[in-house]
Amino acid sequence: MIFEIYSDGSTRGNGKAGAVGAWAYVVLRDGEKFCYECKAVKDTTNQRMELTAAAEALEYLFYNEICVPFDRVIIYTDSAYLHNCYVQKWYVNWQSNGWRNSKKEPVANQDLWERLIKYFEMPEVEFKKVKGHAGNRNEHERWNDFVDVLAQGASEDLKNESSNN
C-alpha cells in the first residue's frame, strides 16, 4: 500500500505581530483521497505552518492503526525550506552543532524539525518537491492547490472569528 501526502502551510501577515496562519494536508491511499485535515493558528509564520502540515500528516499516518501497514509514504511539498532540509540533510549539521546553524545562531523551528527528522531517516518515507499554486495542470498541482485552499480557508475563518470578537 502506498500513501501520498500533499501538505501546505500559509500565513496572512507573515512576519508581522498577530499573523494568522494555517496548515493543511490530504492523504491519498493508492491514489484515492483517504483523509484530510487543516487547522488555523494565531501568531505564527509561513515556515512553521509548512513544517507543521508535514509533521501532522506523518504523525497521523504512523500513529493511526487504520493506516498501517504500508509499503511507502511519499510526501509532496511546495516548501523549498522543508525539501532542502531533507535532501541536503541540513539537520545532520544542526544536530552535531547543538542546534546552531552555519551562522552559529539557534536553528529556527527546532521543535518542528525534531518532529520531522525521524521520518527523514525512514527508508519507506520520501519527500518530493512540487511546484506551488501552479493551476491544476496535473495531479500534483491539483492536490497542492487543494491543500492550499484548505489552509487559506482555515486562516480566513480564524481571522474573521478574531475580528468579530
153 is catalytic: no
Sheet with 125-129: list strands edge to edge.
Answer: 32-42, 20-29, 2-12, 72-77, 125-129
Q: Exactly one of 50, 56, 141, 145 is catalytic; name it.
A: 50
Instruction: Give the count of beta carbons closer than 10 Å to the beta carbon of residue 68.
Output: 11
9 classed as catalytic: yes
Looking at the DSSP assignment, which residues form a beta bridge with residue 23? 9, 39
Which is catalytic among the residues 4, 21, 56, 78?
78
- Does the annotation mark 148 as catalytic? yes
The cell numbers describing 162, all together, are 478574531
Distance (Å) of CA 17 to CA 14, 20, 21, 35, 45? 8, 9, 12, 33, 10
Choosing from 30, 59, 124, 133, the catalytic residue is 133
Our answer to whether residue 78 is catalytic in this structure is: yes
Residue 50 is among the residues annotated as catalytic for this protein: yes
- The answer to whether residue 71 is catalytic is no
How many Å is the maximal CA-CA distance in the chain?
47
Query: To which H or E segment does residue 84 belong?
Result: helix 80-88
Q: Which residue of the set 4, 9, 21, 56 is catalytic? A: 9
Mention every residue, 6+ apart, whose C-beta is less than 8 A from residue 86.
Answer: 120, 127
Residues catalogued as catalytic: 8-9, 50, 78, 133, 148
